Amino acid sequence: MDSKPHVVCIFRSVRTDHSDREYEEWAKRMDELVATMPGYTGHTSFRDDASNKGVTISYFRSMEDVVAWKNEPEHREAQALGRSTFYTEYEIEVAEIVRHYEWTSSD
């Protein structure tokens, strides 16, 4: 992760039981698409199968880059499907990261 200030978008959701296959196709496409966006630096996702709760954390260089991702036409289509079909609820937080550090074991 970059130690320079950057922006993080945290997307928390609860999935419906609607078509796992269709959802996975859209999720894969969004994973591919976000990686092509200017200012994108990475993302990670996980979902608990028992509760259907999930989190995707995406990293961008600037707030403008996050807004561009939000407004990307194919992503807008996925957002509409999320509201109508894939999620019972979701929330989004966008924050500026002002400091970052990490440590890795040498073992």
What pLDDT does 4 receive? Answer: 73
Higher-confidence residue of 45 and 19: namely 45
The domains of the chain, with CATH numbers, are: 6-97 (3.30.70.100)
The 10s digit of each residue's pLDDT in 68-87 is 999 999 999 999 999 999 99
Q: Say how many Å lie between the first and final Cα of the chain, rounded.
A: 21
What pLDDT does 2 receive? Answer: 56
Confidence of residue 1 (pLDDT cuts 50, 70, 90): low
Among 61, 55, 45, which residue's Cα sits nearest to residue 93?
55
Give percent of the chain with pLDDT exceeding 70. Answer: 97
Give percent of the chain with pLDDT exceeding 90. Answer: 84
Tokens 């989190």 correspond to what residue? Answer: 55
H or E element, residue 24 = helix 20-34
